[in-house]
Amino acid sequence: MIFRKKKDELILDRNRLPRHIAFIMDGNGRWAKKRGLPRTAGHHEGGKALLKVLKKCNELGIEAITVFAFSTENWSRPKEEVEYLMKLPNQYIKTYLPKIKEANIKMNFIGFLDVLPEEMKENIRLAMQETKNNTGMIFTIALNYGAQDEILYAVKQIAREYHEGNITLEDITKEYFEKKLFTNDLPPIDFMVRTSGELRISNFLLWQIAYSELYFVPKLWPDFNEKELRKALIAYQKRKRRFGGIEGV
């Protein structure tokens, strides 16, 4: 049930929140352009918005959030922007790791991390090590990630196991396949949010969102605050999730 305050103001039912939310944090560059600033300024402000969303999700008791920070396709962006995006996770970890650790949030990273710069890989290891004993929300950052590449990577692992005689065709179930994905230790994704008004998934978590609720909002990511998060969660709670079935059956 969604309860109401005075003047019909909706409040959240904490018993019906999504366990796992995925965010496509789109619009940083457009936010900066509207203000006559370099695109890098938008990414900087986007980092601040992310911390606010993180804290609020953790306070609400949401188990996990996963954010799309850098895709396998982002390498084609202007050289200056790519260089900045490669430095941004380092800055983010150095600036916000103490606050994330204090908030009892556990950090996680997915994607093809081996090809990332050495300094970034070292900071990733640091962030995971420093928060590994935290018991709150799992905060996953997707870096150098592309869903089609992830699926292909999983298929190749399974094909190799089959070729070597370690599994049979009957062993290859949906559950077995999911164990080969980068998200195998995370709860199923209930809710995906994309900012900036774009109405596409952009090669993010294609397998994992098969039955996720999708939410598209025109706000640019740096403007996505606690109020916008609350509106998104209320929209989620209004929906009927049937997973291919019929309501009431």
The answer to whether 22 and 205 are in contact (CB under 8 A) is yes
Task: With a cut of 90, say whether residue 85 has pLDDT above it.
Answer: no
What is the domain partition of the chain in residue ranges? 17-235
Catalytic residue list contains 74: yes
pLDDT in tens, 186-227: 999 999 999 999 999 999 999 999 999 999 999 999 999 999
pLDDT, position 241: 79
Three-state SS at 169:
helix
Mean pLDDT of 144-173: 97
Per-residue exposure over 5-39, b if at least 16 CB sit within 10 Å of its own CB, e if not:
eeeeebebeeeebbebbbbbbbbbbbbbeeeeeeb
| pLDDT cut 90: percent of the chain above it | 78
Residue 87 — very low, low, confident or very high, per pLDDT cuts 50/70/90?
A: confident
pLDDT, position 41: 92
Mean pLDDT of 127-152: 97
Tell which wins on pLDDT, 80 or 102. Answer: 102
pLDDT, position 3: 45
pLDDT in tens, 46-60: 999 999 999 999 999
Three-state SS at 170:
helix
Instruction: State the chain's mean pLDDT as an integer.
Output: 91
Annotated active-site residue in 8, 13, 15, 26: 26
Q: What is the DSSP string of 57-82?
A: HHHHT--EEEEEEEETTGGGS-HHHH
Mean pLDDT of 107-114: 97
Annotated active-site residue in 74, 90, 134, 203: 74
pLDDT, position 8: 38
Residue 7 — very low, low, confident or very high, per pLDDT cuts 50/70/90?
A: very low
pLDDT, position 246: 56
pLDDT, position 249: 44
Residue 240 — very low, low, confident or very high, per pLDDT cuts 50/70/90?
A: confident
Going by CATH, does the domain composed of 17-235 fall within 3.30.9.10?
no
Task: With a cut of 90, say whether residue 158 has pLDDT above it.
Answer: yes
pLDDT, position 36: 97
